[in-house]
Amino acid sequence: MTIDESRFNQLAEATMSAIEEAVEASGADIDYDTISDILTLEFADGSKIIINKQGPTRQLWVAAKSGGYHFDYDVARERWVLDSDPSQELFACLSRYSTEQAGEPVELTEPEE
């Protein structure tokens, strides 16, 4: 089931804010900045993870050192999941990508509603 554009934008914006909160709460040395619909996480070594909204496909796209990833919103589970492997959830993936780039364990957990 796909979501309409208005719901997509609402979910994507809430998720971007939640990622910022998760970065703050993690205590990791990660800077972040949001410009337009693009959230950039920058690590101490200068590497970046870029997260942006893709309205036409209703996806969140993530670019990390390890590659590019597309996440769909799973309405039933109320979670963003990797389009190529729906068992992979956005925050778990971001934790893994951030850990790889930070060179230390980074746990990004979705804030409770």
**Hey, what amino acid is at 9?**
N
Task: Evaluate whether 39 touches 52 at the Cβ level (below 8 Å).
Answer: yes
List, in sequence order, every beta strand (DSSP E) within the chain.
30-35, 38-43, 48-54, 59-64, 67-74, 79-82, 85-89
pLDDT at position 2 is 72
3-state secondary structure of 6: helix
If one counts every other C-beta atom within 10 angstroms of the C-beta of residue 70, the result is 14
pLDDT at position 80 is 97
Of 9, 35, 6, 5, the C-alpha closest to 20 is 35
pLDDT at position 1 is 57
Of 35, 65, 66, 38, the C-alpha closest to 54 is 38
From the candidate CATH numbers 3.40.50.300, 3.30.920.10, 1.10.760.10, 3.30.43.10, the one assigned to the domain spanning 5-102: 3.30.920.10
Task: Evaluate whether 107 touches 94 at the Cβ level (below 8 Å).
Answer: no
- Show the low-confidence residues of the chain (pLDDT under 50): none
Backbone φ and ψ for 89, nearest 5 degrees, come out as: -95, 150
